[in-house]
Amino acid sequence: MAVKANLIIDQGSDYSVTIDVQYANGTSYDLSGFTGRAQMRKSPFSSTNYDFTVTTANSGAVTLEMTSAYTANVTAGRYLYDVEVISSANVVTRVLQGIATVSPEITK
């Protein structure tokens, strides 16, 4: 089951967040050898998506990042997102999901 975490992203700013992914008993996922992928969309069926850069750590930490140039081109609003990790055996597991709110940039 994926951990739920809501994100707030400032349009036009660099964005980075690290979230610890744990089992229900509180122990961290061992993500050694895993890669990650993450997207946000207005709805699960939207053809427009925005990708995060994903970094995983052995400690179970997942870092999501977007550059300021990238977030400047994301329309302000509310999105759904999820994060999947892929093992070396190509097993895909969704570990994070939630709502990402992009707040509008005023100063340009």
Best CATH choice for the domain 3-103 from the list 3.30.565.10, 2.60.40.10, 1.10.3210.10, 3.40.30.10:
2.60.40.10
Q: Which residue has the higher pLDDT, 2 or 81?
A: 81
* Nearest alpha-carbon partner for 102 in 79, 69, 83, 70: 79
Report the predicted TM-score, pTM, of the whole model to 2 decimal places.
Answer: 0.92
Q: Are strands 15-20 and 61-66 parallel, antiparallel or unpaired?
A: antiparallel
Flag whether pLDDT at 1 surpasses 70: no
Cα 43 → chain centroid: 15
Q: How many residues does the chain have?
A: 108
The full set of domain ranges for the chain reads 3-103
Mean pLDDT value across the chain: 94
Beta bridge partners of 62: 19, 56
Query: What's the DSSP call for residue 73?
Result: T
Tens of pLDDT, residues 51-103: 999 999 888 899 999 999 999 999 999 999 999 999 999 999 999 999 999 99
